[in-house]
Amino acid sequence: MRKSFHFLSLTILGVLLFTPKLIAQDAESQALKTQPNIIVILADDLGYADVGFNGSTDIPTPNIDRIAREGVKFTNAYVSYAVCGPSRAGILTGRYQDRFGFSRNPLLAPNDPKMGLPLSEETLADALGRVGYKSVALGKWHMGAHESLVPRKRGFTDFFGFLSGGHQYLPELWTLNDLTEARTQYDGYNTKLLRNETRVEETEYLTDALSREAVNYIQHYKDAPFFMYLAYNAPHAPLQATPEYVERFDHIKDPKRKIYAAMVSAMDDGVGRVLETLDSLKLADNTLVFFLSDNGGPEHANASDNGLLRGEKGDLFEGGIHVPFALRWPARLEGGKTYEKAISALDIFATAINQTSEPIQTKNTLDGVDLIPYLTEANSGDPHPYLFWRKFDQEEYAVRAANGLKFEIQKNQSYLFDLQHDLGETNSILKERSEDSRSLKKQYSIWNMEMKDPVFLGLLQDKLYSRQNPNRFTTN
């Protein structure tokens, strides 16, 4: 009897000692499960008017439109730069890229540890990783090709895609085994794709391959909170599409726009596959899905359409920086809403980290804000009193106030527009509103004093960089 009692006492003691561990582990598990998943779907060079929710009639985008229909459509959403590299650096860090000298489109330079996102910066993947998130980067990286700058060194658990600023879409054109065989900037377009650090043999059209991998990784990480950065390079040049997609657009007679439309349609199919996977796994309610373009469409280069917006990719007119943007999160946001105040792609970072079950202390001060209080009407104010843009090499800049007044200097010409009444920037009111111009210029000067000069040469200095770095691609 004593032995039985002694055994029972030890058993009860063991249970009591072990129970707190079980409770703690269960609490941790529950916390991970309640943290929302984050998916950022980023198009490349997509025209403002080339999605259905912004009025497209010749290119159906039912799946992209679903994000806007079941979530929030933003009519005044901006990126932080008018071309892809700096814009993406802003998205991934939640900070104006000029704060850390990422003011140029980076070159493909696999031997240069300074050609890309500086190590002083943390990515959204870095921050979310501290509270248990798995992070996946798919598609276009463009944040540096040196081994210290690649996605898995910048907080991402997994990577599938390419390191350069663009890529061929057809697998038969991927003739280079890796970047050691590159000799020019655009040889990066011809490399085999990477899975983490290993080159792979891929047979699918690039956009389809990225969509396939997105589905696979969602299924793989369905039980853990995950962040997915699905960075399509569609519809960035070169204009390439499979017959399956081209045949959908017999009604478009312009051959360039027909292929462009096919590329957008392929991306829309991929977005549909992502949304369907979230539905089937019952993840949709607790997943934030952002959709946007990295800059405005380069209308002359890829036949995109920015609608009534003036200018195109590369400009600080609205056509270069004002982008399609939608957010869906069924658990928190009522569908079918339109938000008209000015917001920025910089806000994605702050919005994401503020929804986690544990507070995240960021390494650096963010320029973006958490959008959720504004979208739930807990905060009726303006997310940003001012938004700023700077093109360092061209000595051009722009500043937009919350009331819609926008001052800009482009090609030695100064403008002041009232975007609330003139979104197409057709009528400069500079002479009539000189005091407003001075006020906006002062705000820009204050902001600019906090920015850094570029820390690397960029795409416009390609030849100069190669002369200065004869071993750009080789170590011989």
Map the chain to HEC letters. Answer: CHHHHHHHHHHHHHHHHHHHHHHHHHHHHHHHHHCCEEEEEEECCCCCCCCHHHCCCCCCCHHHHHHHHCCEEECCEECCCCCHHHHHHHHHHCCCHHHHCCCCCECCCCCCCCCCCCCCCCCHHHHHHCCCCEEEEEEECCCCCCCCCCHHHCCCCEEEEECCCCCCCCHHHCCECCHHHCCCHHHHHHECCEECCEECCCCCCHHHHHHHHHHHHHHHCCCCCEEEEEECCCCCCCCCCCHHHHHHHCCCCCHHHHHHHHHHHHHHHHHHHHHHHHHHCCCCCCEEEEEEECCCCCHHHHCCCCCCCCCCCCCCCHHHHECCEEEECCCCCCCCEEECCCEECCHHHHHHHCCCCCCCCCCCCCCCCCCHHHHCCCCCCCCCCEEEEEECCCCEEEEEECCCEEEEEECCEEEEEECCCCCCCCCCCCCCCHHHHHHHHHHHHHHHCCCCCCCCCEHHHHHHHHHHCCCCCCCC
CA distance 177 to 466: 22
* CA nearest neighbour of 426 among 438, 418, 437: 418
Q: For strands 77-78 and 396-401, give the pairing.
A: unpaired
Catalytic residue list contains 142: yes
Phi and psi, residue 418, nearest 5°: -105, 95
Contact (Cβ atoms closer than 8 angstroms) between residue 121 and residue 138: no
CA-based diameter of the chain, in Å? 101
> 6, 142, 220, 251: which one is catalytic?
142
Label residue 80 left, alpha or beta by phi (over 0 means left) and psi (-120 to 50 means alpha).
alpha
Nearest in space to 230 (alpha carbons), one of 454, 38, 458, 439: 38
Instruction: Judge whether 145 and 115 are in contact, CB under 8 Å.
Output: yes
Q: Among 6, 84, 167, 300, which one carries the catalytic annotation? A: 84
CA angle 43, 49, 52 (to 5 degrees): 85
Catalytic annotation, residues: 84, 142
